Amino acid sequence: MSDTIWVRRKSQAGSANSGDDVDHSLFCKNSEALDKLAQSIGVCKLSHFFDTTDLQYNMAEEDLPETWIAENENWFSPSDALPVLTKIVARLKAGEVKGIKEKSRPELLEELEDCIVKVSEAERENDQFHFCIVM
């Protein structure tokens, strides 16, 4: 089993809608290459918007209370992430990117465009979000 990324919204945390309907596994797998791309084009790393609380909870050796996740999650403003996502997607559409397999680029673009849609929805509704790393 491999890790993936879910786009989660703060207003939906703890509800039946707190997950994501799309696994962004290529986004997760290529996160280091995407961070290098971000640096090369002068934008913030996408990993800045990652939240590993769920992963930490599931990997903890001791039993943590169920409230631990909600108490430790990090949330971000969509307006900070959208320009980053948009510029990275534009660069990926422009052609090959070092560190990203060419054959996976179209599917990676689909995943990142899905992220743009979901982060844009959060912005429209004055909500916060994060890219939740899940296993």
- The per-residue pLDDT for range 49-107, each reduced to its tens digit, is 999 998 898 889 999 998 998 999 999 999 999 999 999 999 999 999 999 999 999 99
Distance of CA 135 to CAs 12, 28, 40, 114, Å? Answer: 20, 11, 29, 19
Separation CA 83–CA 91 (nearest Å): 12
What is the model's pLDDT at position 107? 97
What was the pLDDT predicted at 75?
A: 98
Beta pairing, strands 50-51 & 129-134? parallel
Identify the three-state secondary structure at position 132.
strand
Can you tell me the distance from the alpha carbon of 130 to that of 47, in angstroms, rounded to the nearest whole number?
10
The model's confidence at residue 1, banded by pLDDT at 50, 70 and 90, is very low
**Strand, coil or helix: 4:** strand
The lowest-confidence range among 38-42, 55-59, 115-119 is: 55-59
Rounded Cα distance between 43 and 8, Å, is 22
Mean pLDDT of 103-125: 97
Confidence of residue 2 (pLDDT cuts 50, 70, 90): low
What percentage of the chain carries pLDDT values higher than 90?
80
Helices (H), 31-100: 31-41, 53-59, 67-72, 78-94
Residue 132: beta bridge partners?
Answer: 6, 51
Q: Please, is 28 exposed, middle or buried when counting C-beta atoms within 10 Å of its C-beta (0-12, 13-18, 19+)?
A: buried
Q: What is the pTM of this model?
A: 0.93
